[in-house]
Chains A and B, each alone.
Chain A
Amino acid sequence: MMSIASPLLAAAAMLLTGVILFSALGKSPAAAFHVFFVEPVASLYGVGELLLKATPLMLCALGLAVGFRANVWNIGAEGQFITGALAGGAVALFAGGLGIVTLPLMLLAGVVGGMTWAAIAAFLRTRFHTSEILVTLMLVYIAQLLLSYFVHGPWRDPAGFNFPQSEAFEDHELLPLLIDGARVNVALLLALALAAVSWFFVSRTFAGYRMRVAGQAPAAAAYAGYSDKINVWLALLISGGMAGLAGICEVAGPVGLLSPGISPGYGFAAIIVAFVGRLHPAGVVLASLLMSALYLGGEAAQIELQLPAPVTSLFQGVLLFYLLAADLFITFRLRRVASAPVEPATAPTTVQVSTSQ
């Protein structure tokens, strides 16, 4: 029960902080909240945007949650997102003439691209015992530079007025929209289906069970003979593949081409989504909607309230901060330690005295 309470507490505390923040900036909190949370979803288009932005977050966070449960800490989903977009984008740019199979091929390439990036961390961890936390994080920066190199160099659109971006994808290389009047596309359905698959994998398959054991009690996993290597590889391939899929869905969706700005930090925000969603697929779906609302609200606040862009990251950070704090205070109690002397002065006999003879 408490595991559900803490994200709710965190969200409430985040809103309260928002009130204080908006007041301090001289905005009316009520008006600011309207701009931040209500206006963006007041239209069909707005709801579509909410779902559109929730999709990559959901995809990334679902994969991460599986890994986190297995005690494998992939925090480089952002990098795998980019390599997924690059690999899938390459298919669109260089194999676009394949007609109807192009799009599935792009998605597949996206998954493989994300997995490949995560596989580097898996190899280094299983072969050399390096920390996957550091390796996946550092690979993010390499992926960003790689993307930058391609769109500035070999893949730059010759007719693009020297902007660092690729040629725009053809129509048949883009994901179909779900409804007219909104930009949300079929990737949302894919993400929801994968949420169900991920639930099934974790709770119904033996492989998922082994990963849970490895996460909860590594010594029990070793005792039962579950391979630690397989656990690490599976966790990283799943989370990397999902992040790569999110990447290709983003460029084959709303973005429509490769450019340095394809991700506003979805891969990192997904870490927060995974935790706010309690590493459970259903929770992740809800948490990705919340996080998406923060993105939309942040944009609206920039435009209408002239607030600076980092307001979005600020809300994200505050949310994670409160979540961790709530978890901490649910599990532990803060207590002042009385500054009493160590030895009770009234002890009748000390051990030393008794043994002196």
Chain B
Amino acid sequence: MRRGELPWLRASTWEHPVTPAKVASLAPRLALHGISKRYPTVVANDRIDLTVAPGEIHALLGENGAGKSTLMKIVYGVTRPDAGRIEWEGRAVDIRSPADARRLGIGMVFQHFSLFETLTVAENIALALDGRTSPAALATRIRDVSENYGLPVDPQRLVHSMSVGERQRVEIVRCLLQSPRLLIMDEPTSVLTPQAVQTLFETLRRLAAERVSILYISHKLDEVRALCDSATVLRGGRVAGTAVPREETNESLARLMVGSELRECRRTPQPVGDVRLQLRDLTLRSVDPFGASLNEISLDVHAGEIVGIAGVSGNGQRELLAAISGETRAPHAAIRICGRHAGSLDPAQRRALGMSFVPEERLGRGAVPDMSLADNALLTAYHAGLVRHGLVQSEAIETFARDTIRQFAVKCGSERSLARTLSGGNLQKYIVGRETRLDPKVMVVAQPTWGVDIGAAQLIRQALIDLRNRGAAVLVVSEELDELYSICDRLAVISRGRLSPARATAELPVSTVGVWMTGEFSSASVTHE
């Protein structure tokens, strides 16, 4: 019998008066009282209270740097609070390590993945289960769980060959295998297709019906309103308020998070100029057996327009971006930058032609984790007067970094802060800022706002639109349709290594994009305008 069918376990029942014998099972799953955590330069959490009932889906909302991640690290035993009490199912607990947390029944899906790239999915999950089960024995269970929850994952695949979206699936499956009673999800939908998000929500609702509590961290207010029973909003390390998301609007929730009104990003139609980035029948066989091969991709991006590429992760985005950036070489004539053949040029030579690039991975690719923000400015901005006679100009670099930090409202200690100490959104603002300030003729951006809070996302999108207004050609590859619709002039879809024709966003219904995502765009007339 399914436990969810037992009348006393129904969500509505536990609010009713009950006999003392049942009190223990009716205590909140998790209750935080007055949790505080101070770091040398910042108070990350200031007397935070939070209660999650069994079977409740509780949203934790807040801007980057509001203290959500710190709070979740405390619950998961990664960091210890300076003050405050944690109660688990009615009794005070001291969570000293993630292993403690897992023993209690707390599972967490991280925003930055903690997977070993050189191991297979099954091996990674075996490690997370304290290494007591052989990967081979796990494979069947992984397959069962992943299929049941609509999260397709091949247990034998090596993690390094997987896209961000696929890795996230592995993280979720890994948590589900541990049968958690509280599941913490840090922005789980950021790289899923609309359909996959729906599947995930069904999964989460089913888990909730099974009395699993879910702490759901997200910036997507629509999702929070559709999914969550209640919400706690953090701002500046404190609880700014609690809400029932279903009864709120996006605007009212955003106001609570930001503390002020949000600016909408504005894009007015404008005439386009000459072709700045041109792909012609770009075909590349993938060297990676799990990668996607690119098949006759053609696309024009003009000066003064933003072209978006939508698609489910793992359909060739990674390969296409590497071919455009120069990290993989392509046939020389297949790519033109500002009219010059560029397929066989290296990334530095393409930059010299006027291209800037914001990669999907921020730490380790877009920025060197253990270098300061100033040193990271030098990474790609070396032509902006930061190097003279082969010598590094420290003052020019620090000025460049400081200006970028100010102009893009990057929250950090100073330009001397190490890149890895910044939150994902702040580092992204810094990287986008660095690339934008190079005044590119062609700007290529991968996942511009993945895992970035609304305030920062707005700023980044506006920066891209401003760049377009100044006459740059902008190409955005994203898995977030809402974002692409809000900023792009034209939109194409990539599926299984093939690219659909690009259409004006205003004339392209979402349903068509959905069909294109499955690879069915042969019927659409292929034209290069």
Contacts and interface: CB of A to CB of B under 8 A. Distances in A.
A347 B390 contact: no
A154 interface: no
B105 A347 contact: yes
Interface stretch (A96-104, A214-222, A290-298): A214-222
B387 A206 contact: yes
B22 interface: no
Given A220-B379, A225-B348, A337-B130, A347 B179 contact: yes
B375 A351 contact: no
Interface stretch (A127-135, A165-173, A190-198, A338-346): A338-346
B370 interface: yes
A337 B148 CA distance: 31
Contacts of A42: none
Interface string A104-127: 000000000000000000000000
A213 B351 CA distance: 18
B326 A225 contact: yes
B130 A340 contact: yes
A229 to B, nearest CB: 10
B387 A348 contact: no
Contacts of A212: 371
Given A220-B365, A226-B348, A351-B177, A342 B211 contact: no
A356 to B, nearest CB: 8
A128 B379 CA distance: 28
A232 to B, nearest CB: 15
Contact of A342 (B3, B133, B145, B371): B133
B346 interface: yes
Using C-beta atoms within 8 Å of the partner chain, give the interface range for chain B: 35 or more
Contacts of B3: 348-349, 353
Given A206-B387, A344-B103, A357-B2, A225 B131 contact: no
A278 to B, nearest CB: 14
A225 B392 contact: no
B145 A223 contact: no
Interface stretch (B258-266, B356-364, B483-491, B508-516): B356-364
Q: Which of B4, B131, B368 has the most CB of A within 10 A?
A: B368
A220 B391 contact: no
Given A337-B131, A349-B211, A213 B379 contact: yes
Contacts of B387: 206
Contacts of B130: 337, 340, 342
B167 interface: no
B347 A223 contact: yes
Interface string B80-99: 00000000000000000000
A220 B359 CA distance: 10
Nearest to B351: A225
A144 B288 CA distance: 42
Contact of B210 (A205, A343, A354): A354
A355 interface: yes
A347 B327 contact: no
A49 B80 CA distance: 53
A352 interface: yes
Contact of B366 (A209, A223, A226, A354): A223
Contact of A206 (B325, B365, B390): B390
Contact of B391 (A205, A341, A347, A353): A205
B235 interface: no
Nearest to A349: B210
A355 B392 contact: no
Q: Which of B351, B364, B369 has the most CB of A within 10 A?
A: B364
Contacts of A227: 346, 348
Q: Which of B3, B325, B359, B365 has the most CB of A within 10 A?
A: B365
Interface string B139-171: 001001100110000000000000000000000
In this complex, the member of A216, A342, A352 whose beta carbon has the largest number of chain B beta carbons within 10 angstroms is A342
B378 A222 contact: no
Contacts of B370: 216
B148 A355 contact: yes
Given A207-B390, A209-B378, A347-B105, A220 B366 contact: yes
A344 B368 contact: no
A130 to B, nearest CB: 19
A69 B105 CA distance: 43
B396 interface: no
Given A206-B390, A217-B365, A351 B179 contact: yes
A340 B103 contact: yes
Contact of A349 (B129, B179, B325): B179
A350 interface: yes
B382 A206 contact: yes
B144 A352 contact: yes
Most buried by B among A204, A207, A340, A349: A349
A205 B387 CA distance: 8
Interface string B23-47: 0000000000000000000000000
Contacts of B207: 354
B349 interface: yes
A339 B350 CA distance: 55
Contact of A217 (B132, B211, B349, B369): B369
B414 to A, nearest CB: 19
Interface of B: 2-4, 102-103, 105, 129-133, 141, 144-145, 148-149, 176-181, 206-207, 210-212, 325-327, 346-351, 357, 359, 361, 364-371, 375, 378-380, 382, 387, 390-392
Given A224-B347, A351-B145, 13 more contacts: A209-B392, A213-B368, A217-B364, A217-B369, A223-B365, A225-B348, A342-B129, A344-B103, A349-B179, A349-B210, A351-B179, A353-B2, A354-B210
The 3 closest A-B pairs by CB, nearest first: A225-B348, A225-B347, A347-B179
